[in-house]
Amino acid sequence: MNAMLETSELPAVFDGVKLAAVAAVLYVIVRCLNLKSPTAPPDLYFQDSGLSRFLLKSCPLLTKEYIPPLIWGKSGHIQTALYGKMGRVRSPHPYGHRKFITMSDGATSTFDLFEPLAEHCIGDDVTMVICPGIANHSEKQYIRTFVDYAQKNGYRCAVLNHLGALPNIELTSPRMFTYGCTWEFGAMVSYIKKTYPQTQLVVVGFSLGGNIVCKYLGETQANQERVLCCVSVCQGYSALRAQETFMQWDQCRRFYNFLMADNMKKIILSHRQVLFGNNVKKPQSLEDTDLSRLYTATSLMQIDDNVMRKFHGYNSLKEYYEEESCMRYLHGIYVPLMLVNAADDPLVHDSLLTIPKALSEKRENVMFVLPLHGGHLGFFEGAVLFPEPLTWMDKLVVQYANAICQWERNKSQCSDTEQMDVDME
């Protein structure tokens, strides 16, 4: 009798185990996918001014909910992974012309130029000068998607190809792109200004490119001539502060660090003959032993310390990060500046976001936009599972640029009216 009772109780025990297992799996899924996180408009940090009020009225995306794909869109890791692996879905192939510029040190900088496909909303000639993320170029899918959308909104686009990033373009000097070198971007901007003397500029930077464009504008007031505004998306603002967080396992940053370092190693090693060859005039501090250290590097910091900082003669990693970060140049930017980050970006630690928050509290020209979701350069939109080709980020940047163009047009018209009144008097 006891045996029969024990046997009848076993299925109940197994059912309980199954239910517990299913509950545990569902709990992990809900936590990992962040399904309980709400959708909401982005948090905005800005000074109350005529410009900020105009932007809130003219940019609906600033006050509207950003709704990512239901199943996976609230996970910053999945958004970041999809951007990193896939870029974008059904990415277009805009047609452009590649331009080559010989730098003073013999390096050959390249950028791709795309003409507008429609008339601009205010009828003016406006060029977006775009700086992509780390080791990226104009052929990346997220860049192609953004460029195509900007062209259809009447913008000419010039996209910098980071030095050494294009696999089919050889280096012509022992130097690659670095975290904050603005030489190539500045050369591209100068070319655009000279070739199109009537054009005005909208400056756009993604991730590392955001650091470069902000640093470029803040280096000298002259760099801001004919610049309407600047947009920086998903940058970290201070490499010196970020280096410690990049070595932590929190939010898997150490793993992302390893993946990016591995990619950087591949790019550097693909140019090792030019960078480390015996017949090459290398920077004095760059030695053959640095190549062997490169093979064993597992973080961006090790690569920066052994190779990247030496391209420009920095004596230490600390000096390199301090000089190449845009943080010390942000206060020198006087054109309208929109800084965009995602709260769930696994690459940018929360502590780094105090930099744009503090800046927006002091400067009327700065607006900091912080949506809950989006990951690192993801910002996918969609209903349940499949994302749309165009992202929230693409639409926001163009919407902001359109608003600034209209703001400047309105200011110009007001000035003309005031001048006419003075002349009549």
Q: Is position 207 annotated as part of the catalytic site?
A: yes
At residue 112, the 3 state secondary structure works out as: strand
Catalytic residue among 207, 232, 238, 360: 207
The whole-angstrom separation of Cα 417 and Cα 395 is 33
Q: Is position 137 annotated as part of the catalytic site?
A: no
The whole-angstrom separation of Cα 387 and Cα 26 is 23
Read off the tokens for 137: 């170029």
| 194-197 LR contacts (CB < 8 Å, sep 24+) | 196/125, 196/127, 196/156
Tokens 């052994």, located at residue: 306
Please, what sign has the CA dihedral across residues 331, 333, 338, 340?
A: negative
Catalytic residue among 345, 349, 360, 373: 345
The whole-angstrom separation of Cα 117 and Cα 17 is 61
One-character DSSP codes across 187-237? HHHHHHHHH-TT-EEEEEEETHHHHHHHHHHHH-GGGGTTEEEEEEES--S
Q: Is position 104 annotated as part of the catalytic site?
A: no
The whole-angstrom separation of Cα 346 and Cα 364 is 29
Tokens 């992509």, located at residue: 132
Residues classed as catalytic: 207, 345, 376
